[in-house]
Amino acid sequence: MANAREKIIDRAAQEIEDGMNVNLGIGMPTMIADRIPSSKHVFLHSENGLLGIGPYPEAGEEDADLINAGKETVTAKKGASFIDNAESFAMIRGGHVDLAILGGMEVSEQGDLANWMIPGKMVKGMGGAMDIVQGARKLVIIMTHVNKQGDSKVRSACDLPLTGSKVVDRLITDMAVFDFTDEGMVLKEILDGSDVESVREKTEADFTVDKSLLQKEGSN
């Protein structure tokens, strides 16, 4: 599982381009911050009101007033902005977040996302996820390809309550990268250790394979 998470995080970090405003969801997405090269000028956004999140603080240097949306202590980069919650969400709803990378529990072949609750488990609420999935210019979801029982989390239809319908632009798992287009779900990349056949075996959703990937597979 640790290797799978590392593979996902490393691939997801490649989605971040110079000059972007980026929102990283709680959990695994927050770990992407440490994978962003120092050469890239990126502002990390937290919906609780900080634009310009820096690296995690060293032990003993934590500031309880500087936290991200996951209640973790963080630092602020030079040039960071502190804004109230309403203005932070106005930034999201106004389309000023270039990229959001969130964790997922299930993603459907239509690009539906379920990531905020499991029925029967106590949760405080959806948080900012509903706004983020609608407002971000590009939404990337990261998750393991199967759950602990070995069942596919990439499904024909989500069983869990939806966070958003047809909102996912790209899905990155420990096996593959998928894009969601007008023509449907498309397998774009195979991550190390996988192949098209093994991805099909572990994927409940229906998808097509990108032509360039088919050519690459055929030449191997």
Beta-carbon contacts of 72 under 8 Å, excluding residues fewer than 6 positions away, are 30, 56
Active site residues: 47
**How far is 175 from 189, CA to CA, in rounded Å?**
9
Buried b (16+ CB within 10 A) or exposed e, 110-132: bbbbbbbbeeeeeeeeebbbebb
What is the spatial distance between Cα 36 and Cα 40, in angstroms, rounded to a whole number? 7
Judge whether 213 and 188 are in contact, CB under 8 Å.
Answer: yes
Three-state secondary-structure class, residue 23: strand
Tokens of 4: 């799978």
CA pair distance 137, 20, nearest whole angstrom: 11
Concatenated DSSP letters for 50-107?
Answer: EEEE-PPPPTT---TT-B-TTS-B--EEEEEEE--HHHHHHHHHTT---EEEEE-SEE
The contacts of residue 73 (CB under 8 Å, 6+ apart) are: 56, 57, 62, 63, 64, 66, 67
